[in-house]
Structure 1
Amino acid sequence: MPDLITSLRELLTQCEAVDLSPVLENDIPRWPTHPPLVIQPTVNWKHDGYYCQTVFMGEHTGAHVDAPAHQVSSMMESTIEVYPPDYLCAPAVTYPMHRLNAKPGQRITADQILRLEEEMGDAAGEGEIVLMDFHWFQYWTTSGDWKFYAKNEPGLAEDAVRLFAERRVRAVGSDTIACDTPVIAGEEMESYGHHVHWLPNHILIMEELQNLDKLPVRCYFIATPLKIKNGSGSPIRPFAFVPRN
Structure 2
Amino acid sequence: MKIIDLSGEYTEKMWYYGEPYTPYSVKDLACVDKNGYIAREYTLTAHTGTHIENSAHWSENAQGISETPIEKFAGNARLLYLPFSESKEITVKRLKAAGADDLEKDEICIIRTNWDSFWNKKEYVSESPYITVPAAEYLVSKGIKLVGMDSPMIGDPNDGISSVGADLVLPDYKFSEAGIPIILGLVNLSSLPEKFFFTAFPLKLHNGEGSPCRATAITF
Q: TM-score, normalised by structure 1?
A: 0.81
Q: How far apart in 2 are the matches of 1:153 and 1:93?
A: 22
Q: Pick from 162, 166, 179: which aligns with 1:202?
A: 179
Using the TM superposition, give the Cα deviation of residue 99 of structure 1 relative to its aligned residue in structure 2, in angstroms. Answer: 6.8
Partner in structure 2 of residue 109 of structure 1: 91
Aligned pair in 2 of structure 1 residues 157, 18: CA closer, same or farther (>3 Å)?
same
Higher helix share: 1
Of 132, 156, 167, the residue aligned with 1:182 is 156
Q: Is the 8 A contact 1:86 1:224 kept in 2?
A: no
Quote the offset at 1:162 in angstroms. 1.0
How far 1:187 sits from its partner (Å)? 5.2
2:205 matched to which residue of 1?
228
Conserved 8 A contact 1:63-1:236: yes
Instruction: Give the superposition deviation at 1:147.
Output: 2.5
Alignment equivalent of 2:4, drawn from 18, 23, 28: 18
C-alpha deviation, 1:170, in angstroms: 0.5
Whether 1:81 aligns to 2:66 is: yes
Aligned to 2:194: 217
Query: Mean alpha-carbon deviation: is it higher for 94-103 or for 148-157?
Result: 94-103
The offset of 1:113, in angstroms, is: 1.2
Aligned-pair CA distance for 1:183? 2.3
Superposition deviation, residue 193 in structure 1: 2.5
Distance 1:55 1:124 in 2: 38
Query: Between the two proteins, what is the percent identity of the paired residues?
Result: 23
Choose the corresponding residue for 1:164, options 117, 120, 139. Answer: 139
Determine the structure 2 residue equivalent to 1:137: 116
**Shift in alpha-carbon separation, 1:100–1:26, aligned structure 2, 3 A:** closer
When the two chains are superposed, the root-mean-square deviation of aligned CA atoms in Å is 2.0
What 5-or-longer segments of structure 1 have no aligned partner?
Answer: 1-14
Tell me if structure 1 keeps the 8 A contact 2:115–2:151. yes
Query: 2:213, 2:35 → 1: CA distance?
Result: 30
Would the alpha carbon gap of residues 17 and 61 (structure 1) be closer, same or farther in structure 2, given more than 3 Å must change?
same
1:108 positional shift: 2.0
| Whole-Å separation in 1 of the counterparts to 2:193 and 2:84 | 15
| More off after superposition, 215-224 vs 150-159 | 150-159
Q: Deviations over 1:71-123 (max 9, x none)?
A: 135xx2411010122321011111111176113xxx221112111218xxx73
Counterpart Cα distance in 2 of 1:209 and 1:112:
20
Within 1, Cα distance between the matches of 2:201 and 2:90? 29
The aligned counterpart of 1:64 is 51
Contact 2:150 2:186 in 1 (8 A): yes
Code of the residue aligned with 1:147 in structure 2: it is K
Q: Secondary structure at the match of 1:86?
A: helix
Instruction: Output aligned runs, 1:141-156, within 5 Å.
Output: 141=120, 146-156=121-131
CA distance in 2, matches of 1:70, 1:134: 24
- Equivalent pairs counted in the alignment come to 214
The aligned residue for residue 78 of structure 2 is: 93
- Separation in 1, partners of 2:9, 2:72: 23
